[in-house]
Structure 1
Amino acid sequence: MPMRVLISDPLSQAAVQIFKARGVEADFQPSLGKDKERLAAVIGDYDGLAIRSATKVTADTLAKAGRLKIIGRAGIGVDNVDVAAATARGVIVMNTPFGNSVTTAEHAIALMFALARQIPAADASTQAGKWEKNRFMGVEIAGKTLGIIGCGNIGSIVAARALGLRMRVVAFDPFLSSERAKSLGAEKVELDELLARADFITLHTPLTPQTRNILSAENLSRAQKGVRIVNCARGGLVDEDALCRALDSGHVAGAALDVFSVEPATSSPLFGRENVVCTPHLGASTHEAQEKVALQVAEQMADYLTRGAVANAVNFPSITAEEAPLLRPFVELGAKLGAVLGQIASAGIEKFSITYDGAVAEQKTKAITAAAACGMLRVFLDQVNPVSALHMARERGVMVEEIARAVESDYESLITVRAVTSKDEIAVSGTVFHDGRPRIVRLGEIAVESEFAPSMIYVTNEDKPGFIGRFAGLLGDAGVNIATFALGRDRLGGAAVALVAIDGPAPPATIAALRDLPGVKQATALQF
């Protein structure tokens, strides 16, 4: 029986031809994705599903997809796919992370010009028969400072175009090295400095717990008066209510938004303002970009269905069927160790290394390294995956080093991930016991053994009497239940660490209170 792919959203006919040329049967039904019931009724007949943003792939839909092996998203975001449910059912989820980059960057520049020269309002006035030349006084782009929040693939393209417009560029990105920033012609700065200096701010970072409302009321108040905001990345990066208040007060001179916290955005307090430009999520909407991502997703899906090749998968590393049983627990360990580093790093990571000691050093470690880098980067970059993680790290100037040593240690296999930041160096080690479950066995130079849990709290503190009681009491008062409590110290009265597994995510207020306890140096909520 030939492989069958359902295309449930509008996609270029060239993609259909790619499937057919590879011997894959393609069923083109571009309006089906809008009908959840019809999609669920037929999905069981297909090996692959090619989508854009209209199709919502839920856990209920996946439960009826008995044959489904792969979902291909023509575009970057996979927020319309229940990736966790797909992973649980063994369904590969792929995206096309780079096909929309130029188009989205150009839209950001276009919105910046529209905002600077009040083009939409001036157009409406002129077409209404008015001639209000003195009403629409704009500002020049040349000589202004552009602050870029998130300087990855798209942000880098925006930087290049801004420099061509004779703008000064400052960039905030935890994974952007000073050397990479210099090569782009940008100046790497912390967020507070960007807010203080930028005449225009453009966002090009994914929406994660760390970046949600990155332009909050507090941060908007720290921006210089008269700043203009452009967002072509994700709704939720800007606190829209706070932005309205900042526009009302005149602290923010204007905003241009292509994305909103709720989409489709049919109503918003931001609408109807002359100093606000709005477009309906058009960042990727050019003929060229649509063609690129359609061809790319068809190529990737066909390669997987006919040859087993995996590219740009968001939920699975490049591992063959023979290697999978042995490597899978170490891949999981690497990803979680990387995620620990990404979450506890106090500054941008400039160098990332992973060392393999013992039996694991003789295995195919590249997949583990990719998973570890992915775990580290995913704290800030939701589109990263094990296939693209090393590329994205290099793109941000982060050096990734892999060291394999067939040496003896206390463990049959030991993996250590280490990060060098602009402020310090941090490391965490782990192993896989015979039960197949990964564990942390060392934080820095301190031995501490702990299994991973979905929600944990990491604390470094001075080894002083009474700390554990105050720590546990604070959690108890906050209604946070402790599942496990692992402790370690370097010496009596020296530095100590605690890894606490809890039932559910730690409330931010609780973490803030922990940081205020006497002797605490760092308190961080961890999510896996």
Structure 2
Amino acid sequence: MRILANDGLVDEAVNFLRREGFSVDTEKRDYEDLLGDLPDFDALLVRSATKVNRELIEAATTKRGKLKIIGRGGVGTDNIDLQAAKECGVVVKFAPHGNINATAEHVIGLMFAIARKVPFAHHTLKSGIWHKARFKGVELQGKTLGLIGCGRIGQAVANKAKDLDMKVIGFDMQRWMDSEVDYMDSMEEVLDHADFVSINTGGAHTLIREPELERMKSSAFLINASRGVNVEEDALYYALKNGRIAGAALDCYEKEPKREGEPFTSKLAELDNIVLSAHLGASTANAARKTGMEIADVVSKYLKYGDFRQSVNVGQTVIDEGIDLYTIFITHEDKPGMFGKFGTAFGDLGVNIQENNSRRLDGLAQTIYTIQEKPTSEMQEKLLEIDGVRRVVY
């Protein structure tokens, strides 16, 4: 099978996939080339740069298109049309663990940078001017950090902030059972009380506009190291310029250059109370290695074994699908044709098979069918009539 890593992949992950028997191509394609080439690949691996829309997915799956899986290195999947992938029979998986620490560290680093005005002091000193009184900052210890989004990265930020003796409050629709976060009932409540606000969500909607900035303390700082769409930059510009909030630190923007070395323009760069970095949250060698190995592993397991774990557009397990399910256990001879006979038997009885798992025993096999109808003695007798079946229980 052929895998296209369109946003690059660390050598260790490429070598792993090749040892697993896959052909791996890491040549970057632009959109038009992807439209033509993707139907020949079984898997597409991307990070945030490649936008995988409906047109691309349909082109890769119609007629003789081979695409089976899209792997997203990282957490966010807003650059992939999940519904189109589902409709076209393409599973989307992600690698959410590899860049958690790198991104959380970057959030903390941005907080220190804007609170202590480090980049501004660095710039003036590099210019040959000594300023000390001008760059008096504030400490993080004892301050309240407000998290908008308390998922994997939010939890990691919370743990690090706690080690700095910060109080951590947050808002998220989903709450972690074991968390350092003191959950609030609304985002507005977080904005009212936080000295630092860190946004750690996907990028589906703009969260911070003028009304949200008006709620923040005049001494507060805003941090966004998740998705550019989370913050309305015009509103932030006026809030910073007019002293409505004390400062901000951004790692992502509403419009970002598509390629390395391209110009970046933003009127936010005029201001002296904002720190800017070029979407560096996951840009560490450690994160690249961990994320690359993780996505290589989950894609390999899907293509070779049908493993649905870490899927984001289908249920990772049959339980996730939210329907009533039952199990029936079959001990049988380990020989060709058995599964076909079981399928025929279930079909004759009008039973829909949801999933089956099978493992070898000593000369036999144990197969467990997950079905959508409650097992009956009629099913049991029908299966026992099959030559090679030793035992059926439910």
* Contact kept in structure 1, 2:74 and 2:291, CA below 8 Å: yes
Deviations 1:76-134 (A, max 9, x none): 22222232222222111111122211111100000000000111111111001111112
| Paired amino acid for 2:312 | V
Query: Relative to 1, partners in 2 of residues 1:314 and 1:186: Cα closer, same or farther, differing over 3 Å?
Result: closer
Partner of 2:7: 9
Q: How does 1:10-49 map to 2 (within 5 A)?
A: 10-29=8-27, 32-33=28-29, 35-49=30-44
Correspondence 1:300 to 2:264: no
Query: Relative to 1, partners in 2 of residues 1:5 and 1:185: Cα closer, same or farther, differing over 3 Å?
Result: closer
Partner of 2:102: 103
Q: TM-score, structure 1 length as denominator? A: 0.57
Correspondence 1:222 to 2:186: no
Deviations 1:61-80 (A, max 9, x none): 33332011111111122222
Partner of 2:199: 203
Out of 299, 314, 326, the position equivalent to 1:362 is 326
* Contact kept in structure 2, 1:22 and 1:306, CA below 8 Å: no
Correspondence 1:291 to 2:289: yes
- The alpha-carbon deviation at position 49 of structure 1 amounts to 1.5
Correspondence 1:147 to 2:139: no
- The alpha-carbon deviation at position 319 of structure 1 amounts to 6.2
More strand by share: 1
Partner of 1:193: 189
- Hey, what's the Cα distance between the residues in 2 that align with 1:57 and 1:251? 38
Partner of 2:255: 262
- Hey, what's the Cα distance between the residues in 2 that align with 1:186 and 1:311? 27
* Secondary structure in 2 matching 1:135: helix
* Secondary structure in 2 matching 1:39: helix
Deviations 1:343-401 (A, max 9, x none): xxxxxxxxxxxxx7xxx35369xxxxxxxxxxxxxxxxxxxxxxxxxxxxxxxxxxxxx
- Hey, what's the Cα distance between the residues in 2 that align with 1:246 and 1:49? 41
Partner of 1:250: 243
* Contact kept in structure 1, 2:98 and 2:287, CA below 8 Å: yes
* Secondary structure in 1 matching 2:133: coil
Q: TM-score, structure 2 length as denominator? A: 0.76
- Structure 1 unaligned residues grouped into runs of 5+: 321-326, 335-355, 365-403, 407-528
Most deviating of 87-96 and 256-265: 256-265
* Contact kept in structure 2, 1:103 and 1:289, CA below 8 Å: yes
| Paired amino acid for 1:248 | K
Partner of 1:337: none
- Hey, what's the Cα distance between the residues in 2 that align with 1:313 and 1:278? 33
Query: Relative to 1, partners in 2 of residues 1:174 and 1:72: Cα closer, same or farther, differing over 3 Å?
Result: closer
Query: Relative to 1, partners in 2 of residues 1:14 and 1:193: Cα closer, same or farther, differing over 3 Å?
Result: same
Correspondence 1:309 to 2:337: no
* Secondary structure in 1 matching 2:229: coil
Query: Relative to 1, partners in 2 of residues 1:72 and 1:242: Cα closer, same or farther, differing over 3 Å?
Result: same
* Secondary structure in 1 matching 2:295: helix
- Hey, what's the Cα distance between the residues in 2 that align with 1:145 and 1:76? 26
- Hey, what's the Cα distance between the residues in 2 that align with 1:133 and 1:73? 45
- Structure 2 unaligned residues grouped into runs of 5+: 258-262, 329-371, 375-394
- The alpha-carbon deviation at position 285 of structure 1 amounts to 0.6
Task: Report 1 or 2 for greater relative contact order, CA contacts < 8 Å, sequence distance ≥ 6.
Answer: 2
* Contact kept in structure 2, 1:8 and 1:28, CA below 8 Å: yes
Greater CA radius of gyration, 1 or 2? 2
* Contact kept in structure 1, 2:145 and 2:197, CA below 8 Å: yes
- Hey, what's the Cα distance between the residues in 1 that align with 2:155 and 2:51? 31
Partner of 1:75: 74
- The alpha-carbon deviation at position 298 of structure 1 amounts to 0.8
* Contact kept in structure 1, 2:78 and 2:202, CA below 8 Å: no
Partner of 1:399: none
* Secondary structure in 1 matching 2:304: helix
- Hey, what's the Cα distance between the residues in 1 that align with 2:173 and 2:39? 43
* Secondary structure in 1 matching 2:159: helix
Percent identity between matched residues is 40
* Contact kept in structure 1, 2:57 and 2:85, CA below 8 Å: yes
Partner of 1:233: 226
Partner of 2:334: none
| Paired amino acid for 1:47 | D
* Secondary structure in 2 matching 1:271: helix
- Hey, what's the Cα distance between the residues in 1 that align with 2:130 and 2:317? 65
- The alpha-carbon deviation at position 184 of structure 1 amounts to 3.3
Q: How does 1:113-124 map to 2 (within 5 A)?
A: 113-124=112-123
Query: Relative to 1, partners in 2 of residues 1:151 and 1:64: Cα closer, same or farther, differing over 3 Å?
Result: closer
CA RMSD across the alignment: 2.4
- Hey, what's the Cα distance between the residues in 2 that align with 1:405 and 1:189? 43
Correspondence 1:54 to 2:49: yes
| Paired amino acid for 1:245 | Y
Query: Relative to 1, partners in 2 of residues 1:186 and 1:87: Cα closer, same or farther, differing over 3 Å?
Result: closer
Correspondence 1:134 to 2:153: no
- Hey, what's the Cα distance between the residues in 1 that align with 2:140 and 2:317? 48
| Paired amino acid for 2:195 | D
- Hey, what's the Cα distance between the residues in 2 that align with 1:309 and 1:405? 24
| Paired amino acid for 2:326 | E
Query: Relative to 1, partners in 2 of residues 1:103 and 1:361: Cα closer, same or farther, differing over 3 Å?
Result: same
- The alpha-carbon deviation at position 215 of structure 1 amounts to 2.2
